[in-house]
Amino acid sequence: MKAATRSALKVGLRAFGFGGALLATEVACSLVIDTGGLAGERAETEVTPREDGGEATDAFSNDAGGRDAASPGAGADADADATTPACPGDAGPAGVRVDDYCVDATEVTNADYAQFVQANVGPGGQPAGCAWNVSYVPNEAWPPSANAMNRPVVSVDWCDAWAYCAWAGKRLCGAVGGGPIAAGALADSARDQWYRACSGRGSSVRPYGDAYEADRCNVAASGGTREAVMSRPGCVGGVAGLYDMLGNVNEWVDSCTGDGGADDSCYVRESFYASGEGVTCATVGTRARSSWHVGRGFRCCAP
């Protein structure tokens, strides 16, 4: 759907279509795109953004208070010591330090995201490519049930993820040193924050090592549905204290190509939709900036 048409027909419209993901495999530390799509029959359904008529406060005001000291991953980085600076951020999962930046220990949960929704943050302050986005309420199954609060938040578009991370005092994971990451550097451990953390600074193909281990992480061959964060204690690494860097939900990252609008292609990392042995830290796909899916969420980095 073209951007102008989307703007005119946004209220009440849902356009569903099956788009094959672009899978990537790591070969000599480079990202190789395979246009064959996701394995199996679980193609993601892309939909256009929604509109919410609720009132909003000033952009990215933070009413959530400090992070719960018992949040998953707090103090879990074995590489850190008493002199290591604390990870910045005002809300959401605790951060795990990777050299001079931090990565959320888990995917952002429904409980984390509920604080953001309750803060009633306004749409101002978003990147120019998100001018169409007027609500951050997830597009499906919201509010979550009490027993789903520790599952990753899903059904959020790229702009929702970007805005949450900004509100939480963090940023959507992108380039080491700041800013978005170029598509050609998504498997460069010196340049990409997410990949550097997942691969243990480029030392392994998967967060737990090179060889595939069935059931270690939540991928299609060993689960194929969204699970609560930290459900699989073995799915940790490539830096100590990071959970589900392989499997569970897709994760938006700060890497997009296009004209700077709703139809831009933005990158996502891994998913339980993908086949087991085919999933590595370098596995990526592209989705429209304005799309959302019940298997797609995110985590944040800082700074």
Question: What is the residue-wise DSSP string for 266-283?
Answer: EEEE--TTS-TTT--TT-
pLDDT of residue 267: 98
Low-confidence stretches of the chain (pLDDT < 70) are 1-83
pTM comes to 0.77
The DSSP secondary structure of 157-188, one letter per residue, reads: -HHHHHHHHHHTT-EES-BTTSS---GGGTT-
Q: Which residues of 243-271 are buried (b: 16+ CB within 10 A; e: fewer)?
A: bbbbbbbbbbbbbbeeeebbbbbbbbbbb
What number of other Cβ atoms are within 10 A of residue 149's Cβ? 16
Enter the tokens of residue 244.
């589900």
Report yes or no: 268 and 251 within 8 Å, Cβ to Cβ. yes
Distances (CA, A) of 234 to 38, 86, 140, 237: 24, 25, 30, 9
Q: Give me the pLDDT at residue 43, please.
A: 44
Where do the structural domains in the chain lie, given as residue ranges? 1-63+70-303
Q: Check residue 83 and give its pLDDT.
A: 59
Question: How much is the pLDDT for 44?
Answer: 53
* Residue 274: CA count within 13 A, CB half-sphere: 30
Domain topology for 1-63+70-303: paralog of FGE (formylglycine-generating enzyme) (3.90.1580)
